[in-house]
Amino acid sequence: MAIKKSPANNVNLQGSIELSGDKSISIRVILLSAWAHGISTFYNLGNGDDVKTALTTIQKLGIKVVNDKSKFTVFGCGVGYDKIKNSINLNMGNSGTCTRLVTAQLASSAITSRLYGDKSLSKRPLRIIDVLSEFGCNIKANKKKFLPIKIYGNPDTIQSNISINKSSAQIISSAIFCAMNSYGISKIISKNDSRDHTEKLLKYLKYPINIKLKKNNKIKKISITGKQKLETINNYRIPSDPSSAAFLIVLSTLSENSDLTIKNVLINKFRIHFINILLKMGAKIKIFKKRNYFGEQIADINVKSSKLSGIKILPEIVPSIIDELPILFIAASFAKGESSFPNLDELKIKESDRLKVMYLNLKKCGVDCLIKKNSLIIKGLSERYFSNEIPKIDTFNDHRIALSFLVFSAVSRKKIIIDNFDTVNVSFPNVEKLIKKLYKKKDKIIIALDGTVSSGKTSICKSLVKKYKNEAFFFDSGLLYRKLSLIHLKKKNKRINVKFLVKSAEKIKLKDLKNPELHSNEVSKIVSKIAKIKSIRTALLQVQRNIIFKNKNKIVLVAGRDIGSKVLPNNFSDLKLFIDAPVHIRARRRFNELKAKYADKSFDYKTVLRQLMLRDKVDSLRKISPLIKVKSAHLISNRSKYISTPIIKIMRLIKKASLSN
């Protein structure tokens, strides 16, 4: 049953953890232990569906497997599966790796078989049939060479000299597996730019495989002798999966106050290019306790919250980050500046067309991005990100799409819904449990206060700051417009220079809003005119959000007339309040305030009342960010003479919101 998920927002991670074993190595360990001469034992096997498919497959092929808690014992039959009388049907699920490696094993064994998979796997090209035919394998497929396929096993395959042009570890490993069960010495030439777990594991097990690097290490020449004894794998604890770690690393990087250590991570140079990219973007990542283990290198990784900058990826790097590209797109979405990812052809033929699917879903979430030929350009968050829209993420049953947008939700306050979320079971089934285990509850609560003119927003906020003392911060968003009004007045220009004010808006700091000149009569006369200009309001939106989200106080109070609807909609604030009082009460307060402030008594109560009624009408009917009470806002009546009445109610709401935060 497909599960829709609305993941948690505003998450951070603290602590240390070891992840389940690397998926690529887990599958190779299972399939090679089936061919080993004797009994193999290993621990911390990957817990995703793809790994389970590999286990089920060798069991159906007659291999005994014993699972005792975290320990797996496999009774190998030697290189080449024993003959099975009848044709066997094998369901490969969603696993492209398992399909390609098992196909090579079966095609060179005395077994007739039919392989099929789920809808996603059945739409992906195998790209190994021509390679395996060079060894004398007999595989029948449709014209597109997709699953299902029929394999007429040939136990007498012979050595071959082949050249593989595609940057694909699965194709290379498929050729190696077939060569292991073929007579003679096979030679395989390929690019040296994809993961090499099969080669490293075989060398560690002392199988006769030789690897030479040519042309500045860009070309790999492999020679392998077939029909030889394969040693068993003994007491191997499979290292943490770096591709799964990538999601937690990006989550920790982008979230506030994160400090996460992931233990025993595989750091094969072809698997951690994504870390090098994040480091160049400004991520605080440390790799320590490096050590060699079963032919691979492993280490512990610590990651802390960081601010990222955009990056331009080199085309030749792409094959080594192919699985991590979706989560790197998420990192780029929250980075400052533009990022570009070229040479993404291979991304189109993964579990889904990941280039298209990521692009469409990022656009839905308010990320400014575009596809240019086979490249993806990401420019950061657009205003759509802050809209009231709750986008539905179409995963196309692709586990890395679901995981990527789980992280998108976790590092932001954007509410999203992910369809077919259970597809994460393919590679990272316990991801939510791990996040929950590492999640440290945040103390910070953001409160959006909207309300009518003279409803007492400022007085209420100032009273709350006094109540909470150093824990609370009050930000009056209207001061930003007053600051720009003051800048305009000091320029002594008759016409408002909008472009200049937009540029000035980007430079406003919090300390600039403490200037007493902001409350002068001259500023008051022009501020409403400047506040109506759309480009200025747009420029100040990001300034407001930067001040709000970067503030370290536990309670952040933000007052204005479009805070809950425009500046901090939906989950971007933890509590929304709408302050109001009957217009005659507000007019009386305003009249008394003016009477006490100014010696000029030319104004009267009725004039003030008419002005407030007109202002209410203008505020509620204006085209740009009208004053409205959003559905989730609590209505706070401030009609009492005593400000303590609304304060008590608001403090109760703050306590409730803090408990559920």
* Residues in Cβ contact with 619 at an 8 Å cutoff, skipping those fewer than 6 apart: 452, 453, 561, 626, 627
The C-alpha atoms of residue 260 and residue 11 are separated, in whole angstroms, by 13
Strand 112-116, strand 138-140: pairing: unpaired
d(CA 325, CA 356): 13
H helix intervals, 36-64: 49-60
What does the block give as tokens for 367?
């990320």
Kind of pairing, strands 39-43 and 236-237? Answer: parallel
What letter would DSSP give residue 346?
Answer: G
Please enumerate in sequence order all residues whose Cβ is within 8 A of that of 529, keeping only pairs 6 or more positions apart, or say none.
496
Domains defined for the chain, CATH in brackets: 14-18+240-438 (3.65.10.10), 23-236 (3.65.10.10), 445-660 (3.40.50.300)
* The predicted structure's pLDDT at residue 600: 61
Q: What is the dihedral of CA 441, 443, 449, 454, to 10 degrees?
A: 160
What positions carry a catalytic annotation?
323
Contact between 399 and 358 under an 8 Å Cβ cutoff? The reply is no
Written as one letter, the residue type at 639 is: R
Q: Which helix (H) or strand (E) holds 656?
A: helix 644-660
> Sign (positive/negative) of CA torsion 509, 515, 519, 522?
negative
Q: Which pLDDT score is estimated for 1?
A: 44
DSSP H or E run through 586: helix 583-597
Would you state the pLDDT for residue 2? 63
Q: Which residue has the tokens 């259970």?
A: 422
| DSSP state for residue 223 in the 8-state scheme | E
The three-state secondary structure class of 161 is: strand
Residues composing the chain: 661
Q: Return the amino acid letter for 523.
A: V
Report residue 160: phi and psi, to 5°: -145, 150
pLDDT tens digit string along 91-109?
A: 999 999 999 999 999 999 9
What is the distance between the alpha carbons of residues 586 and 608, in angstroms, rounded to a whole number? Answer: 9
Cα separation, 404 vs 359, in Å, equals 12
Q: Are 453 and 611 in contact (CB under 8 A)?
A: no
Q: What is the largest CA-CA distance in the chain?
A: 108
Q: Do 167 and 195 meet the contact criterion of CB atoms below 8 Å apart?
A: no
| Cα gap 102→63, rounded to integer Å | 14
Percent of the chain with pLDDT over 90: 78
- Ranges of residues in the chain whose predicted pLDDT is under 50: 1
301 strand-pairing partners:
262, 287
8 A C-beta contact, residue 102 and residue 61: no
Residue-wise pLDDT tens digits, 483-519: 999 999 998 888 999 999 999 998 998 889 989 899 8
Instruction: Please give the helix or strand (H or E) that residue 175 lies within, else none.
Output: helix 169-180
Radius of gyration of the chain (CA): 31
Q: How far is CA 172 from the centre of its chain?
A: 30
| Residues 633 and 657 sit within 8 Å (Cβ to Cβ) | no
Rounded CA separation 133/110 (Å)? 16
132 within 8 A of 104, measured Cβ to Cβ: yes
Residue ranges of E strands in 118-272: 138-140, 149-152, 161-164, 185-191, 209-214, 219-225, 236-237, 259-266
What is d(CA 354, CA 373) in angstroms, rounded to the nearest whole number? 14
CA 511 to chain centre: 34
Q: Which long-range contacts (CB under 8 A, 24 or more apart) does 198-205 make?
A: 198/28, 198/169, 198/172, 198/173, 200/268, 200/295, 200/296, 201/25, 201/28, 201/29, 201/32, 201/294, 201/295, 202/32, 202/176, 202/230, 203/295, 204/294, 204/295, 205/32, 205/36, 205/230, 205/231, 205/233
pLDDT of residue 661: 65
Instruction: Write down the residue that tokens 């006369």 correspond to.
Output: 525
Q: What helix, strand, coil percent values describe the chain, rounded to 5?
A: 45, 20, 35
* pLDDT for res 561: 87
The pair of three-digit structure tokens given for residue 111, joined into one six-digit string: 């077994």
Alpha-carbon 661 to chain mean position = 21
pTM value surpassing 0.75: yes
Tokens 């209420």 label which residue?
A: 460
